[in-house]
Chain A
Amino acid sequence: MNNDTIVMSYVVPADDFTRAGEASSNVKGKLKKMGVPPEIVRKVAIAMYEGEINMVIHATGGTIDVTVSPEEILMVLKDQGPGIENIDLAMQAGYSTAPDNIRSLGFGAGMGLPNMKRYTDEMEIESKLGVGTTVTMKVKMV
């Protein structure tokens, strides 16, 4: 690892469940190549993947910016979807508004946001109904 700050930006397409996860996969590969410790790579990959899937199944895709610095990895996931009405409720394990067709694809257990919180050192959700959602997560390097 060198001391530079690296920024990676992605556009997550709407309505393409098959492609969901491509951005997270790409970040995972790059972090590994940079020599980031495997445990940290895994935490970032899982948290970002859950967020990326949420953007596809609950919103209309969006953008993800990942900033890697010597101290931490910062992920900002932004969408212009319907927004989250009650963030505290959404954060509860088991809470999901996913319809049956999403459940039959293996998502909608209501575990995504709790997982994102568990695997990161800091997480913040900003959401406005009818405007969109921004999820910011940080994983420390040490």
Chain B
Amino acid sequence: MTIEDIREILGAEYVVGEEWKDREVHTACGSDMMSDVLAFMKDQSVLLTGLCNLQVIRTCEMMDIICIVFVRGKLPDEGMIEMAKEKEIAILTSGHRMFSACGMLYEKGLRGGPDYK
């Protein structure tokens, strides 16, 4: 699915990166712990998180994650927005809670990648 599909499924809004809406997303990861996210190496992923600080953007930069969905209506600050633009990471914000947002995307066929070994 694309970033735009994710936006539509979650009824989310673009904060950054509407111009990248047609980029393909292959896998997803949902976590509030950044080292959990960093344990997961997959191409063209989306991160769903309720954590909202600059290290979320940094983590995605290191991982080449192309889209972040902030759940529970979290909104990034100016510094985060600037960094996301610079690193070409799209940001969406959704009012759904983590479990619901992940479930909605899973239902539409998005998967989380292999088990942690």
Contacts and interface: CB of A to CB of B under 8 A. Distances in A.
Contact of B55 (A43, A103, A107, A112): A107
B88 to A, nearest CB: 13
Given A20-B55, A46-B38, A109 B62 contact: no
B55 A17 contact: yes
Instruction: Please tell me the size bucket of the interface on B.
Output: 20 to 34
Contacts of B35: 50, 107, 109-112, 115
Nearest to B79: A18
A2 B66 CA distance: 30
A49 B38 contact: yes
Interface stretch (A4-12, A21-29, A127-135): A21-29
Contacts of A24: 58, 62
17 contacts: A20-B55, A20-B58, A21-B58, A24-B62, A28-B62, A42-B41, A46-B41, A53-B55, A106-B33, A106-B51, A107-B35, A107-B55, A112-B35, A112-B38, A115-B35, A115-B38, A118-B39
Nearest to B87: A25
Contacts of A106: 32-34, 51, 53, 55-56, 59
Interface in B36-67: 36, 38-39, 41, 51, 53-56, 58-59, 61-64
Given A106-B51, A111-B38, A42 B62 contact: yes
A24 B87 CA distance: 14
A43 B54 CA distance: 21
Contacts of B54: 18
A109 B33 contact: yes
Interface residues of A, number: 28
Interface string A42-57: 1101100110010000
A21 B39 contact: no
B62 A46 contact: yes
B54 to A, nearest CB: 5
Contacts of A25: 58, 61-62
Interface string B1-39: 000000000000000000000000000000011111011
A20 B66 CA distance: 21
Nearest to A48: B62
A21 B59 CA distance: 9
B55 A42 contact: no
A105 interface: yes
Given A106-B32, A108-B33, A109-B33, A21 B55 contact: yes
